[in-house]
Structure 1
Amino acid sequence: MSASAGEVARPTLRVRGLLGRAEPILITGGRAVADYREAFVGIDVAKQRNAVAIAEAGREGEVRFIGEVDASDTSMHRVIQRIAAKFDRIHLCYEAGPTGYGLYRLIRSLGHECTVVAPSLIPRKPGDRVKTNRRDALSLARLLRAGELTAVWVPDEDHEAMRDLVRARAAAVETLRVHRQQVGAFMLKHGRAYPRTKNWTMRYLRWLQEQRFDYPAHQIALQEMVEAVRISKERVERLERVIEDFIPNWSLAPIVRALQTLRGVDLIVAVTFATEVGDVSRFDSPRQLMGYLGLVPGERSTGETIRRGGITKAGNGRVRHMLVESAWTYRHPPRIGKAKLYRLEQAPPKVREIAWKAQARLTTRYRKLVGRGKRTTVVCTAIARELIVGFMWAVAREARST
């Protein structure tokens, strides 16, 4: 940058910038102008239009709202390039949501840094009762500049496709549960009680077909509900077969196979863990993974007073639910069944050692906690938190390294 007429150019100095590196400053006529310029861009994404705001580097850097632009890739590409032309480096961010990671991949393809923000961890002022697209974009830009945003893990496209398939299966299971519940509620309303304890067996379905009602409308309603259950069940089974077919060609197939050596972990639990958690190497310890899954106890302490409550239930609920369900299998004495024997024979020696150590320790832990009078629900949560997550973390890391 050259000095204008009438100004005396003085030597270029180097000062320590906000990011901890030396930045060149040219002093001309008593005014300092930074050669290196950096900006932080907050994007409030929506279905049709995205709100864009920008915060320039520095405590006193200007924060301004650029406007709302079309959410298409072409429009966002044009806006990002226009912003990048005015700065040496830009950082962009937006909240994770139903729009997915398409914008993230577009920004990364342009060579810029992008952060997909966890919405539940965004700092918010308790007294702020106004929420608009403009204010959200400005807030994201400010918080990104301050380093107060928490990023979510963004999977690659192949991993995301597998995760969508697993989540589709989970949605089908939920639909099946709702349809079965409707049948049970219908029978209860009409005073029809199944004489046995276990429902939805072939005997239970035969009992439903034998039911007769005085009004044909009731008979048709029951038949339609039972048919909905049958269709939902076939959908679940079909998706499970597709998942099993896709596993051998997936990059995390070794981890899925290794996880199945653990007691209580079948194909669906293993593939759900792999798709939702991803690369376990991003967690330095099992404790970090426990916190990610919301299996650590909450705490509200002040001074010398320590108050701990139930688990936080933050993070990924799909994996947490399946792990707690898997923990129920450890109420039985340690043993290796036929299915697990086959899995263990296919696994490396180190994985087999971890799997047996987990079974012996988990069953002992379960009996001790029950013997101390703990409720079984609390015991299963403790098993899932303290041991299952730790052993699954160890097995996944071992499978990743082999």
Structure 2
Amino acid sequence: MIEHTFIGLDVHATNIVACALIPETGEIVRETMASDPVAVLEWTRRFTPPVKAVYESGPTGYVLARSLRAGGVDCVVAASSKLLRAPGDRVKNDRRDSRLLVEMLALGSVTEVRVPDEETEALRDLSRLRAGAARDLAHARQHVNAILLRHGLRYPKDTKWTQEHHRWLHRQHFQDPLLQFTYENDIEQAELLAARLKRVDKQVTAAAAACPYTNVINALMCLRGISITTGFGLAVEIGDWTRFTGSSIGSYLGLVPSEHSSGETRHQGAITKAGSTYARKLLVEAAWQHRRPYSRPGIRLQRQFILVEPATRIRALEGNHRLHGKWEHFDARAKIPVKANTAIARELAGWCWSLAAPLQQGGPVTPV
């Protein structure tokens, strides 16, 4: 069935430029209104239903999409990286953007972004808060290390940021009062951010234990390298794992090679880096852990196995052995570690899917 009216919305923080296309008559209707979901919904009701609307993903989020859907308007959010634009098109403005969106929607060429519910979006924000807190702490600690390194001070042991290391840091003193002031403030900032990260981690642990993704998180944590923060982040970033297959999940996360081929020439380049940057980063970091020696599950994994069904446990054991075996194979071939780890991360994404998707479907754990 062809929708009676298509609507393209170019959404900004203060205003929205709308373009409606009526296929039966070819009529184009334009409107500029305040960035208010109620005003947009009232404007869409001027047209004979059914109505389908689209706007580009971006910083304005999903409030407008949820509001229009609640009002009976089928609203989709288009992936901004997948919008088609002619190479020779050098004119870009709000009117053209809304027209481009409505034309792509009418042709069925819009790549939709999944609109999460409010609870999932809140969980995702918490996960990203944790990532930001860890990043801020790392930067603050780098500042402290940089000051010490520039003045020839080096901690004699390899393990840093322990209690002993903190006591050593507080014993260091500089003759210049301005330098001493800067050093003390950098240490104070690092300690405050470390305490903040602990509070966020505590909240993540509590949320992971009582959210719609708890079973998925427990299953993902049966794989090496996936702690509670990593499992939580992957679960809420991807949300509905049933949308993918074992092979397509790697493409969704941008872990497959880019390609530029023409005729008989085929060239593959770096990975596409599509999808969630944060989810891809979590997988890449977890993949390094599979390079470490492995013969049997450690204490953490043994405790984690108690929380999952036998089928999930067996599948996770297979994945851990398989991924470590792949690392051994790459090392034997002297493959560049960074490239090897990317390949492991791509396969790890498939193993994560094989654990998570069956739980959301309510069926048995299946192979990749």
Normalising by structure 1, we get a TM-score of 0.86
> 2-side partners of 1:368 and 1:218: how far apart?
51
> 2-side partners of 1:195 and 1:248: how far apart?
40
Runs of 4+, deviation exceeding 6 Å = none
Asked if 1:327 corresponds to 2:293, the answer is no
> 2-side partners of 1:42 and 1:191: how far apart?
61
Which residue, 139, 147, 156 being the options, matches 2:117?
156
Q: Letter of the aligned partner of 2:32 in structure 1?
A: E
- Residues 104 and 110, structure 2, Cα contact 8 Å, conserved in 1: yes
Displacement after TM superposition at 1:199 (Å) = 2.9
Higher relative contact order (CA 8 A, sep 6+): 2
> 2-side partners of 1:397 and 1:132: how far apart?
41
Displacement after TM superposition at 1:302 (Å) = 1.1
Larger Rg: 1
SS at structure 2 position matched to 1:135: helix
Asked if 1:61 corresponds to 2:26, the answer is yes
SS at structure 1 position matched to 2:113: coil
Q: Bigger CA drift: 376-385 or 195-204?
A: 195-204
CA-to-aligned-CA distance 1:206-256 (integer Å, 9 cap, x gap):
232222212111111111111111111111111111111122321111111
Displacement after TM superposition at 1:319 (Å) = 1.1
Displacement after TM superposition at 1:95 (Å) = 0.9
Which residue, 62, 69, 73 being the options, matches 1:112?
73
Q: How many residues align?
A: 361
CA-to-aligned-CA distance 1:367-391 (integer Å, 9 cap, x gap):
01111010211111111112x1111
Q: Which residue of 2 aligns with 1:307?
A: 267
Q: Which residue of 1 aligns with 2:366?
A: none
Aligned CA-pair RMSD: 1.7
Q: Which residue of 2 aligns with 1:372?
A: 333
Which consecutive unaligned segments of at least 5 residues does structure 2 have?
Answer: 364-368
Q: Which residue of 1 aligns with 2:174?
A: 213
- Residues 37 and 68, structure 2, Cα contact 8 Å, conserved in 1: no
Q: Which residue of 2 aligns with 1:316?
A: 276
Q: Which residue of 1 aligns with 2:324?
A: 363
Which residue, 19, 30, 40 being the options, matches 2:6?
40
- Residues 259 and 392, structure 1, Cα contact 8 Å, conserved in 2: yes
- Residues 41 and 92, structure 1, Cα contact 8 Å, conserved in 2: yes
Q: Which residue of 2 aligns with 1:138?
A: 99
SS at structure 2 position matched to 1:213: coil
CA-to-aligned-CA distance 1:82-139 (integer Å, 9 cap, x gap):
2x3xx23211011111111111011101111111011111111222222222221111
Identity of aligned residues (%): 35
SS at structure 2 position matched to 1:63: strand
Asked if 1:227 corresponds to 2:191, the answer is no
- Residues 284 and 341, structure 2, Cα contact 8 Å, conserved in 1: yes
Which residue, 137, 143, 152 being the options, matches 1:176?
137
